[in-house]
């Protein structure tokens, strides 16, 4: 049975042991860790099994990278505000407050 796009990405994500939300750095880290673990020259298990796992890992990583390359990022004010750091959030909400905001704005 043919998988739909979501199922393909989910299967790839699970094979790479990536959580539902991840950064590119964590995706790459997981990929490298698994490649090291299953590399045929370093793997302590059956060489053919290691080759097969390496192929699956590379294919899963390519699936995830393709999804990330096609992803459309939003640079709207609303989208950017959803990803503020705690300090930025504080300034956004209390930065003009004379009691809380003055010292933080100077930093």
Residues 16 and 43 in one domain: yes
- Distance between first and last Cα of the chain: 58
Residues 30 and 65 in one domain: yes
Residues 41 and 81 in one domain: no
Range of the domain at 16: 1-71
Residues 83 and 40 in one domain: no
Residues 17 and 55 in one domain: yes
Residues 35 and 60 in one domain: yes
Residues 29 and 44 in one domain: yes
Indicate the pTM of the whole model.
0.71
pLDDT one-digit tens code per residue, 17-55: 999 999 999 999 999 999 999 988 888 778 899 999 999
Map residue 4 onto helix, strand or coil: coil
Give the closest residue to 43 by CA, choosing from 53, 57, 29, 32: 53
Residues 23 and 45 in one domain: yes
């Amino acid at each position: 049975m043919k998988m739909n796009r979501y199922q393909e990405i989910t299967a790839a994500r699970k094979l790479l042991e990536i959580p539902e939300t991840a950064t590119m750095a964590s995706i790459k880290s997981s990929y490298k860790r698994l490649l090291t673990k299953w590399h045929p020259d370093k793997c302590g298990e059956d060489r053919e099994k290691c080759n097969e796992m390496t192929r699956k890992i590379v294919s899963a990583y390519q699936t995830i990278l393709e999804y990330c390359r096609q992803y459309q990022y939003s640079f709207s004010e609303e989208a950017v505000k959803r990803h503020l750091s705690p300090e930025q959030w504080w300034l956004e909400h209390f930065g003009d407050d004379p009691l809380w905001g003055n010292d933080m704005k100077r930093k």
